[in-house]
Amino acid sequence: MDTQKSAAIAEVDVVVVGGGMTGMYFHYLLRRLGLSIQGFEAGTDVGGTWYWNRYPGARFDSESYSYGFSFSEEVLDEWRWSEHFAAQPETLRYLNFVADKFDLRRDIRFSTRVTGAEFDAERSRWQVSTDDGAVTSARYLVLATGVLSAPFIPDIRGVERFGGLTWHTSDWPREPISLSDKRVGVIGTGATAVQMITEIAKDIGHLTVFQRTPNFCKPLRNRPITDDEQREIRERYPAIFQRCRETLGGFLHDFDPRSAFDLSDAERQAFYEQQWQAPGFAFWLGIFADCFTDDAANATAAEFVREKIRERVTDPAVAELLAPTSHAFGTKRQPMESGYYEVYNQPNVRLIDLNADPISRFTETGVETSTEAFDFDVVIFATGFDAVTGALDRMHIQGEQGQSLKHLWQNGPQTYLGIGVSGFPNMFIAGGPHNTTSFCNIPRCIEHNVEFIAECIGHMHTKGLTRIEAEAEAQQAWTRHALDLAADTLFVKNDSWFMGANIPGKKRVFLNYVGGVPLFLEKLADVAAAGYAGFSLK
Ligand code: NA7
């Protein structure tokens, strides 16, 4: 085993980049293998997504008890979620509880960002550079950088001249800030904006929402977990996690195999109503599978949601702006809401349609569109993330031939299982492109990936092997498989972060994996059973 050799270049077995849920689980598992680990985390503490995203209203859209870690009976026994869909402060407390329990911070250097990593082919080791000027040498580079962790702020002319405050939702001010007398502009209406707008609108001076694309939002239907429910959840944990292994997206909900047209119009409406009234993603991941492959089936769901929106918004013109018509239902991540549409009935809230009236620039006092000038004290960017590849691209990762990962992926990413990349030996991505993680109840898929990677590293270690690399043919076949599956769905017709289409200049290509959790787990098991087929081991 490698140990620290000098003050200048520390040597370890594994560098783990990221201290979110993925990184935390890596520390837990890799330590049990007796490996030396150096973790790096840009934040001051663990938590990743739940550390950064502290905006008002941030909460789970997955059932809390389906979201937490499943690996520890003790944690399942000791932790109690207060609500069916827990809010961010509780989730961060949970992750701190897990970190404390297993001493997971021990090997993590916080407030430290990895800036680059270079593969030294001669020694089969990674040289990892950090923004504190240090270099760490590791046999394995494990990237636990998250799929929605690279914030995106659009390049709008004049933003530097604006005299008020601006921030991205993932960078909410740490000091409490009251908006009750503020004129606030919000750019974006995705899942984040929907949660945040609903919360800040409860106590705000004036709110202007700039919307480019309306979304099909569904009521979350959150409520506290009673003592009886808690007892039942504890008993049901094995069944809950088993269910999540069997559904396509690792959620408690799963698609209905019937066609939308197997039912009469009345039966279909009744089914939609039932799913609409159910909590969570029931009306998205629990409706007919052909709604995601067939335009006509999809239209039945889309119209159902549009009607629900119209019922809740008083001004018919505003209701029409909020009712999506430019894309198919469910082909963007569905925002979950708890009073979002009623916000637009408030006298101190305005919705601006950027399609009719685009933002032209920031001024010293606010924002100008093509027809109007708005004065703001605060402008909040709820403009999303450079998803899946963004966090990887922002580090300078150089493979065996000196090629950069970012450059290699400029025409679309190529991976084997969304885990390995040919030309980048001893590097593992937990949840890279064409992996289940970004199209999943994320912690469920995180666990599958981390377990596979940790077992693989353990296998290498016990066999005395020092180099593993995805084979080019396996990578090509996997990428084709992932893209072929997606080609049969409506997801590829829509512009969203699923397609990388939210980032100007990013190659428009499907980034997720729609084969589903059961198929992916089968594939991982087969690959491992065959001695890591598709990887070459030395
Ligand atoms: P999303 O879902 O990517 O939403 C970003 C929003 O910002 C969306 O409404 C975008 O409109 C809008 N946007 C992006 N760029 C611009 C510009 N230049 N002008 C105006 N509006 C813009 O990110 P979220 O943070 O809401 O959600 C990310 C994930 O977090 C979500 O999937 C969950 O998993 C949790 P567009 O739709 O592109 O027209």
Can you tell me whether residue 459 is helix, strand or coil?
A: helix
By most ligand atoms within 8 Å of CB, the mutation choice from 212, 369, 446, 512 for ligand 1 is 212
Report the run of H or E that residue 5 belongs to, with start and end.
none
What's phi and psi for 242, nearest 5 deg? -65, -45
User: Whose CA is closest to atom 32 on ligand 1?
Assistant: 333
Residues with C-beta less than 6 Å from any ligand 1 atom: 148, 154, 187-193, 210, 212-213, 333, 354, 382-385, 497, 502
Q: What Rg do the C-alpha atoms of the chain give, in angstroms?
A: 23
Between strands 427-429 and 135-143, the pairing is parallel
Annotated domain spans of the chain? 3-46+104-150+386-537
pLDDT, residue 6, reads 42
CA distance 489 to 330: 11
Statement: 3-46+104-150+386-537 belongs to CATH 2.60.120.10: no
CA distance 130 to 124: 20
- Atom of ligand 1 minimally distant from the CA of 354: 20
pLDDT, residue 3, reads 43
Burial call 43-52: b when 16+ CB within 10 Å, e when fewer: beebbbbbbb
Which position has the token pair 């995805």?
470
What's phi and psi for 176, nearest 5 deg? -55, 135
Bridge partners, residue 166, by sequence = 379
User: Whose CA is closest to atom 12 on ligand 1?
Assistant: 188
Bridge partners, residue 375, by sequence = 366
CA distance 433 to 409: 10
Own/partner long-range contacts of 109-112 (Cβ < 8 Å, ≥24 apart):
109/38, 109/39, 109/40, 109/41, 110/19, 110/41, 110/43, 110/44, 110/45, 111/41, 111/42, 111/43, 111/44, 112/40, 112/41, 112/42
pLDDT, residue 4, reads 44
For ligand 1, the distance from its centroid to the CA atom of residue 287, given in whole angstroms, is 24
CA distance 472 to 412: 15
By most ligand atoms within 8 Å of CB, the mutation choice from 55, 169, 192 for ligand 1 is 192
Of the candidates 344, 337, 347, which has an alpha carbon nearest to the alpha carbon of residue 305? Answer: 337
CA distance 231 to 357: 53
What's phi and psi for 33, nearest 5 deg? -85, -5
For ligand 1, the distance from its centroid to the CA atom of residue 188, given in whole angstroms, is 5
388 in Cβ contact with 433 (< 8 Å): yes
User: Whose CA is closest to atom 18 on ligand 1?
Assistant: 154
The per-residue DSSP string of 145-182 comes to --SS-SB-----TTGGG--SEEEEGGG--SS----TT-
For ligand 1, the distance from its centroid to the CA atom of residue 194, given in whole angstroms, is 10
For ligand 1, the distance from its centroid to the CA atom of residue 6, given in whole angstroms, is 45
Between strands 206-211 and 349-353, the pairing is parallel
- Atom of ligand 1 minimally distant from the CA of 212: 39
Pull the structure tokens for residue 217: 């939002």
Read off the pLDDT of residues 281-314 as tens digits, 9 standing for 90 and up: 999 999 999 999 999 999 999 999 999 999 999 9
101 in Cβ contact with 75 (< 8 Å): yes
Per-residue pLDDT of the chain (538 residues; tens, 9 = 90+): 444 444 578 999 999 999 999 999 999 999 999 999 999 999 999 999 999 999 999 999 999 999 999 999 999 999 999 999 999 999 999 999 999 999 999 999 999 999 999 999 999 999 999 999 999 999 999 999 999 999 999 999 999 999 999 999 999 999 999 999 999 999 999 999 999 999 999 999 999 999 999 999 999 999 999 999 999 999 999 999 999 999 999 999 999 999 999 999 999 999 999 999 999 999 999 999 999 999 999 999 999 999 999 999 999 999 999 999 999 999 999 999 999 999 999 999 999 999 999 999 999 999 999 999 999 999 999 999 999 999 999 999 999 999 999 999 999 999 999 999 999 999 999 999 999 999 999 999 999 999 999 999 999 999 999 999 999 999 999 999 999 999 999 999 999 999 999 999 999 999 999 999 999 999 999 999 999 999 999 9
The per-residue DSSP string of 300-312 comes to HHHHHHHHHHHHH
For ligand 1, the distance from its centroid to the CA atom of residue 189, given in whole angstroms, is 6
Pull the structure tokens for residue 25: 């689980």
- Atom of ligand 1 minimally distant from the CA of 154: 18
For ligand 1, the distance from its centroid to the CA atom of residue 190, given in whole angstroms, is 5
Kindly report the number of other CB atoms within 10 A of residue 174's CB atom.
Answer: 7
Model pTM greater than 0.85?
yes
Can you tell me whether residue 478 is helix, strand or coil?
A: helix
pLDDT, residue 201, reads 98
- Distant-in-sequence, close-in-space partners of 365: CB < 8 Å, separation ≥ 6: 162, 163, 164, 375, 376
By most ligand atoms within 8 Å of CB, the mutation choice from 195, 502, 503, 506 for ligand 1 is 502
Read off the pLDDT of residues 5-20 as tens digits, 9 standing for 90 and up: 445 789 999 999 999 9
CA distance 128 to 142: 11
Which position has the token pair 């980048």?
424
457 in Cβ contact with 33 (< 8 Å): yes
pLDDT, residue 5, reads 40
- Atom of ligand 1 minimally distant from the CA of 383: 7
388 in Cβ contact with 196 (< 8 Å): no
CA distance 421 to 475: 7
pLDDT, residue 9, reads 86
CA distance 475 to 472: 5
518 in Cβ contact with 245 (< 8 Å): yes
